[in-house]
Structure 1
Amino acid sequence: MEVPGLKGRVAVITAAGQNIGKATALAFARAGSHIVITGGSDPAKIEAVADQARSFGVKAIASVCDGTDEAATTALIKRAVAELGSIDIAVSCVGIRPHQRLDEITLQDWQTVINTNLGSAFILTQAVLPHMRERKHGRLLYMAGTDALFPLANRAHVVAAKHGMHGLAKAVALECGPDGVTANSIAPGWLDTDRNAAWYPNLEETYEHVQATVPLRKLGTAEDVANACLYLASDMGKFVTGHLLHINGGEFMV
């Protein structure tokens, strides 16, 4: 699939073993971008995605890497630059979404969610920015989620982290725009993806409600979100920065 400005680029996608991360990695590979993908604990999953990406004729690096580990993330980016020549695009997909009432959230719970969701995005940003600034070109994308603007109950820590991710995107957009770097966040709505049942009580009822009430009357797919990433990372989206793009079938209109 020809997408202006993506062939031969190098994209790093975190949490790419399944769902949005996987779909995004494969979308970039189909568009001719070399990919660097990470996963938290299952090397077989991310290696399978890398193998699939290679079938499109691009290079792929797969690495088990904890997104909250600054040293490991920095080392992976240095390896990617050494082997692939650059880092042009970074997509932060790491995220956990515990379902907890506000008065049940401990400080440790709070710090775990903030460090995992927002901290990993910050660490990835710092690792890739020097390489992007040197080349005067870069695209940073943060998977902020609808929680970034429309909070869900029993997710105070998740909501705070997602707000922070879009805040980070705006800060990067402002500070790094003169260096040719854009930064945007994406807010996926309800998608037909694998989910941790403990994080989504009454999921089937939620799905039924969504499909009965959103204007498009259906759930989205991980590929819908991946296509948005392609747009923002390509030459088609080169004048878009500091923006939060909703992919939600019309559930929220802003």
Structure 2
Amino acid sequence: MASPAIPLYAPAHNHEGEGKMSEESSGRPFAGRTALITGSGQNIGRAIALAFARGGANVVINGHRNKEAIDRVAAEAEALGVRALPILADVADPGAVQAMVDKAAETFGGVDIAVSNVSVRLHTKFLDISIEEWQRIINSNLSASFYLARAVLPLMQARNWGRIIHISGKDGFAVIPNRAHNVTCKAGVFALSKAIAVEFGQFGITANTIAPGVIDTTRDWTQYPHFANGYGERIEEIPVRRIGHVDDIADACVYLVNAGFVTGQLLHVNGGDGLF
């Protein structure tokens, strides 16, 4: 006899500490959870935040400079029937990250899901990278993930449940020239995920990494000379013959939150553009 179908967002099992969802909330499996997504005022971060909101999670919307943007995303989330907290914070500042997490815990009682999504991508030849530029990119693209994990892990331990997701990139695994600092960071967040997964798995906490391929986002095209003609030529190189959508990354995040037996892993979401 065929197994019963499992709803898209419903966990297959309700292990101790992994499922505080009642039958009434089965259509919103993240009800009672809180998700914090850095860099969620636009693009991939916004899509991730709204995906969790649709699943019933309260969301913390983070940006660095644009208060109007995070307020708009917070309003979109609240229109889905959840609570949203927009916070301006520079994730490269460990004190600001801790203050943001403290505010989230004060407002919602904790942080169950943390997605580290902020990234600054500069196109600079290796010998032209200054010490200041190197430190800036390392701090925003790699250290920021450590700052966030360090702040949320005690809260997750207290609940014996947690999900940490790092958004990496293809350039951490198929190296793009003239991006040594970003390449280092994108590979580094995967190593960080594995370290967290091994140390904190006993507390019901998973840590994973998503490496997006070519995703249609608003970006500074001056830093993407390899897209001199836009996305056009690249489409023919991607097996699924399309550019990725921000919702493709959001769907992967939803999967990893539900997948309690998946940890320390790297998920390439790239339409087959690079089979690793």
Partner of 2:138: 114
Partner of 1:26: 50
Question: Aligned ranges for residues 184-203 of structure 1 at < 5 Å?
Answer: 184-203=208-227
**Aligned-residue offset at 1:179:** 1.1
- Distance in 1 (CA, whole Å) between partners of 2:101 and 2:238 is 40
Partner of 2:207: 183
Partner of 2:172: 148
- Alignment check: 8 A CA contact 1:2 1:31 kept: no
Gapped regions of structure 2 (runs ≥ 5):
1-6, 11-28
Deviation string for 1:11-54 (max 9, x for gaps)? Answer: 00000011100000011101111000110100000000000000
Partner of 2:30: 6
- Distance in 2 (CA, whole Å) between partners of 1:231 and 1:132 is 19
- Alignment check: 8 A CA contact 1:6 1:233 kept: no
Question: Aligned ranges for residues 1-254 of structure 1 at < 5 Å?
Answer: 3-4=9-10, 5-205=29-229, 207-234=231-258, 237-254=259-276
**Aligned-residue offset at 1:6:** 1.7
Give the TM-score normalised by the residue count of structure 1.
0.96
- Distance in 2 (CA, whole Å) between partners of 1:106 and 1:67 is 21
- Distance in 2 (CA, whole Å) between partners of 1:83 and 1:92 is 20
Q: What amino acid is the match of 1:250?
A: G
**Aligned-residue offset at 1:8:** 2.1
The answer to which of 148-157 and 42-51 deviates more is 148-157
**Aligned-residue offset at 1:205:** 2.6
- Distance in 2 (CA, whole Å) between partners of 1:199 and 1:168 is 26
Q: Which has the larger radius of gyration?
A: 2
Deviation string for 1:154-175 (max 9, x for gaps)? Answer: 1000000111100000000011
Identity %: 42
- Distance in 2 (CA, whole Å) between partners of 1:206 and 1:233 is 33
RMSD: 1.2
**Aligned-residue offset at 1:217:** 0.7
- Distance in 2 (CA, whole Å) between partners of 1:240 and 1:45 is 33
- Alignment check: 8 A CA contact 1:173 1:241 kept: yes
- Alignment check: 8 A CA contact 1:170 1:184 kept: yes
**Secondary structure of the equivalent of 1:205?**
coil
**Secondary structure of the equivalent of 1:168?**
helix
Please state which structure has a larger fraction of its residues in helix.
1
Q: What amino acid is the match of 2:237?
A: T
Across the two proteins, how many residue pairs are aligned to each other?
A: 252
Q: What amino acid is the match of 2:112?
A: D
**Secondary structure of the equivalent of 2:231?**
helix
- Distance in 2 (CA, whole Å) between partners of 1:153 and 1:2 is 39
- Alignment check: 8 A CA contact 1:125 1:140 kept: yes
Q: What amino acid is the match of 2:225?
A: P
Deviation string for 1:71-111 (max 9, x for gaps)? Answer: 12111111111111121000000100100111111111111
Give the TM-score normalised by the residue count of structure 2.
0.89
